[in-house]
Chain A
């Protein structure tokens, strides 16, 4: 059964595209057939993070408007044959997407792939609402700072009201992906702690991804961080997140590089 997953946040720059690419690649590595759909029409980035920018011919807008067929626009990843990209258009804007067109494309993608991962644009307007519209589950990417948390809260409210699932009275599955987390700074009180964010957003935690240089170096070479340096803490966090999305339950201790979540919850102090 295929699943449509939206990676969203409200706020920009928190790591939606990085996370969509990393989660998509991690899911694809397990043998699942995955397509990454870039909904950020006008500001497309996912092609760069996947290193596919020189292979884009047709895009989501072409398919939505009927100028190209879906197979013409899909780009297969060169490293992972189960990973595909449906790029966004850089020259158009979000108004080029129609609700009916998006619905049809998502329907077609559902038939071809196990996972349809929609990379949402920032904001709460048309692009973001269309990206979440047909999702079965949502990954809410949040940084440990107040503005990001509040924007995520807003997005969660929209996931619970504006999506097809919500309108049909079904439950929208939501997961928190806390990115750019710095244990030392959180311990010093310079950053919100995992518990604080969880307490405010009140949705289950998918993974905590530490702040790391690996992220930038991976996207600069056009490779999802899970493929670029699989042994890094960041890659392991995304791997664990992907396995949780597939229904497994790897221990959370992998997620926090320096201190386990359990010891944090019990309040044991360790040298940071």
Chain B
């Protein structure tokens, strides 16, 4: 019977839509809370597309002026505020938020919307002290690898960025899985079996005896792999 009441004889269609709003509860001190929110937005950015309900139960104690600055600040960050809850009418009276200060229906979910701690920054470098032994493979896709010691014949080091070897490079080194043009291989003594940057590689028979045993860098020059001595400029 209710359906009939909703569906007018002229055929206006009313459809239901459920969507998820996120509830933010700003906490004093508000400056620190805003900074945390900014960090969260920068890393996750998940709030932007969603309607936001601001729970003022904590922040309201800070007074009307600060509360309005807070709400303006949230709007300025592109958050779509659809409701302001748990506040006294006086706090937002005479502002655009006054009409939003009515409780919205809906039930709260587990605090998934609580600002998650920013993810730990991914390690950008890996340091290996001591030799990399024959048969060992070291793959580090997210950054540079520094080896203090030798890379033995039959060992393999693969890096997303550059590879630095303070010792003899006797095995294989492949740099630049991620950053081809920016990645290089540096070694204090080139005795390698193979070196490569990105998809370009070269085996020992393709570089001259002038490089063997010398400090050498390997890099990509407009799509060509180049090797040059570091002790002679």
Residues of A within 8 A of B (CB): 124, 146, 150-151, 153-154, 156-158, 160, 199-200, 202
Contact = CB atoms under 8 A, between A and B. Distances in A.
B213 interface: no
A129 to B, nearest CB: 13
A146 B135 CA distance: 15
Contacts of B134: 150-151, 153-154, 157
17 contacts: A124-B135, A150-B152, A150-B153, A150-B154, A153-B133, A153-B134, A153-B152, A153-B153, A154-B134, A154-B135, A156-B133, A157-B134, A157-B135, A157-B136, A157-B155, A200-B153, A202-B130
B197 interface: no
B51 interface: no
B182 to A, nearest CB: 31
A199 B167 CA distance: 10
B115 interface: no
B130 to A, nearest CB: 8
Interface string B144-161: 000001101111000000
B96 to A, nearest CB: 62
B134 to A, nearest CB: 4
A124 B133 CA distance: 14
B136 A202 contact: no
Contacts of B131: 153, 202
Interface string B97-127: 0000000000000000000000000000000
A153 B151 CA distance: 11
B153 A202 contact: no
B154 A154 contact: yes
Contacts of B150: 200, 202
A146 B131 CA distance: 17
A146 B193 CA distance: 14
Contact of B154 (A153, A160, A199, A202): A153
A1 to B, nearest CB: 28
Contacts of B133: 153-154, 156-157, 160
Contacts of A158: 135
A151 B149 CA distance: 18
Contacts of B155: 153, 157
Nearest to A156: B133
Contacts of B154: 150, 153-154
A151 B133 CA distance: 10
A64 B149 CA distance: 41
Among A124, A153, A157, A202, the one with the most B-chain Cβ atoms within 10 Å of its Cβ is A153
Contacts of A156: 133
A150 B170 CA distance: 10
Nearest to B130: A202
Among A151, A158, A200, the one with the most B-chain Cβ atoms within 10 Å of its Cβ is A200
Given A150-B154, A153-B154, A154-B154, A202 B135 contact: no
Nearest to A159: B133
Given A146-B153, A199-B168, A200-B170, 20 more contacts: A150-B134, A150-B154, A151-B134, A153-B131, A153-B134, A153-B152, A153-B155, A154-B133, A154-B134, A154-B135, A156-B133, A157-B133, A157-B134, A157-B155, A158-B135, A200-B150, A200-B153, A202-B130, A202-B131, A202-B150
